[in-house]
A and B are shown apart, each in its own frame.
Chain A
């Protein structure tokens, strides 16, 4: 026979947690609404930017521009790879953080030499995770001064990050830069994705309408391809980082909302189950008491 007081206490504690998860659900759903609108506003820019750059690169003539430098003289395993990883600031959002960190780990495992990997982690959860990893001996250096939150992405923050990364690339502190973020495919499906930011690669051939490869016509660049790229690439980097931030923030809110909704539902289920057991126990106790009283009365009257 389960103890009545024990069950009552458990119901009480579940009710407390239910209040928290429910409040978090409400908050994340209102934040999600905001994040959704900003995502909807930014998405056309984000996708158009990618497709336009792709077509620009198809028409770019040969250039010795800085950001096209593929560092071909450095062997593959000696190249310094930078990863900008966008994670959440807080936990309790289902598998959102877990997925992006697992994906990043996979990318790091693929890299030839962990000592040449540099991580730029946005969001507290990811920072903690990689700090702990360093302490346990697995190396991949994390930039300690790279402190950016993922809450409410702004263009200003994206600009700062882009400038930092481009500067490191110019100084040969990084040879390749990747951006890892969570992409929102639809509201139920989110997937971690990698985008290569640097170096840029010029395309020599494109697919023609009939599927054959043909040499692409070159567009003119005013005043010169180098000069235009000097402006265009920081612009692109900034836009891409901003878009990824918006996308990731929306994903985080979405998965938090889903997780908290699930938690609230299961808390309600548990309370229902427990109160049934509580009532049964109470009924049993009452029945037993009545039996005892009746038994006592019977023995007296005899």
Chain B
């Protein structure tokens, strides 16, 4: 078995995961990033996206919305707004959120509102994508 490191994923509403993992793949702001035990100290932020980690030879997937990660050689901490397993995603809610956001994007808005709506749309699309990909 490969060397493991301690990973903690903490969302605002719960401790999503805490335990030993062998490999972690995250989407950072400038692309995919794989982390294994003994990684150099690193800090980077995570946009809305997908996350996967290897526990006992099984890949686990999760949808994450905005957060950041602190990597230390023997442990990593991810702090995020929300984090969900594919099967936990409420498809209906995400679809509604997407429609709402698309509707709002068609209206005239200020730049700030536009960015907010875009971020909301992004979160909804991400949820839908991950739930379709890993949970059918």
Q: Mark interface residues in B22-48 (1 if CB within 8 Å of A CB, else 0).
A: 000000111001000000111111010
Do residues A44 and B41 form an inter-chain contact, with CB atoms below 8 A?
A: no
Chain B residues, Cβ within 8 Å of A222: 28-30, 33, 42-44
Q: Mark interface residues in B7-25 (1 if CB within 8 Å of A CB, else 0).
A: 0101111110000000000
Chain A residues, Cβ within 8 Å of B15: 44-45
Expressed in whole angstroms, the Cα–Cα distance for A88 and B134 within the complex equals 44
The number of chain A residues with a CB under 8 A from chain B is 30
Beta-carbon contacts under 8 Å, A149-180 to B = 155, 163
Interface residue stretch chosen among A16-24, A49-57, A112-120: A49-57
Contacts A44-B15, A163-B112 given; does A239 touch B70 at CB 8 Å: no
Nearest chain B CB to A104 CB, angstrom units: 26
Nearest chain B CB to A171 CB, angstrom units: 13
Do residues A242 and B12 form an inter-chain contact, with CB atoms below 8 A?
A: yes
Nearest chain A CB to B33 CB, angstrom units: 7
Expressed in whole angstroms, the Cα–Cα distance for A45 and B71 within the complex equals 17
Do residues B11 and A232 form an inter-chain contact, with CB atoms below 8 A?
A: no
Do residues B68 and A232 form an inter-chain contact, with CB atoms below 8 A?
A: yes
Do residues A45 and B79 form an inter-chain contact, with CB atoms below 8 A?
A: yes
Do residues B29 and A223 form an inter-chain contact, with CB atoms below 8 A?
A: yes
Expressed in whole angstroms, the Cα–Cα distance for A235 and B71 within the complex equals 17
The number of chain B residues with a CB under 8 A from chain A is 28
B81 at the interface (CB under 8 A from A): yes
- Residue in A59, A223, A232 whose Cβ sees the most chain B Cβ within 10 Å: A232
Interface residue stretch chosen among A68-76, A92-100, A213-221, A287-295: A213-221
Do residues A45 and B11 form an inter-chain contact, with CB atoms below 8 A?
A: yes
Nearest chain A CB to B78 CB, angstrom units: 10
Q: Mark interface residues in B61-76 (1 if CB within 8 Å of A CB, else 0).
A: 0000011101100000
Contacts A41-B13, A155-B81, A239-B12 given; does A228 touch B112 at CB 8 Å: no
Q: What residue in chain B is nearest A217 (Cβ atoms)?
A: B41
B125 at the interface (CB under 8 A from A): no
Q: What residue in chain B is nearest A242 (Cβ atoms)?
A: B12
Do residues B13 and A235 form an inter-chain contact, with CB atoms below 8 A?
A: no
Looking at the complex, which one of A52, A220, A228 makes contact with B40 (CB distance below 8 Å)? Answer: A220
Expressed in whole angstroms, the Cα–Cα distance for A48 and B80 within the complex equals 11
Chain A residues, Cβ within 8 Å of B29: 222-223, 227-228, 231
Looking at the complex, which one of B8, B45, B79 makes contact with A231 (CB distance below 8 Å)? Answer: B45
A194 at the interface (CB under 8 A from B): no
A42 at the interface (CB under 8 A from B): yes
Chain B residues, Cβ within 8 Å of A56: 43, 70
- Residue in A42, A44, A163 whose Cβ sees the most chain B Cβ within 10 Å: A44
B77 at the interface (CB under 8 A from A): yes
Expressed in whole angstroms, the Cα–Cα distance for A270 and B11 within the complex equals 49
Can you spell out 18 A-B residue pairs with CB atoms less than 8 angstroms apart? A41-B13, A42-B12, A44-B10, A48-B79, A219-B41, A220-B40, A220-B42, A221-B42, A222-B28, A222-B33, A222-B42, A222-B44, A228-B43, A231-B29, A231-B66, A232-B68, A235-B81, A242-B12
Top 7 A-B residue pairs of the complex, sorted by shortest distance between their CB atoms = A231-B45, A219-B41, A222-B44, A223-B30, A41-B13, A232-B68, A41-B14
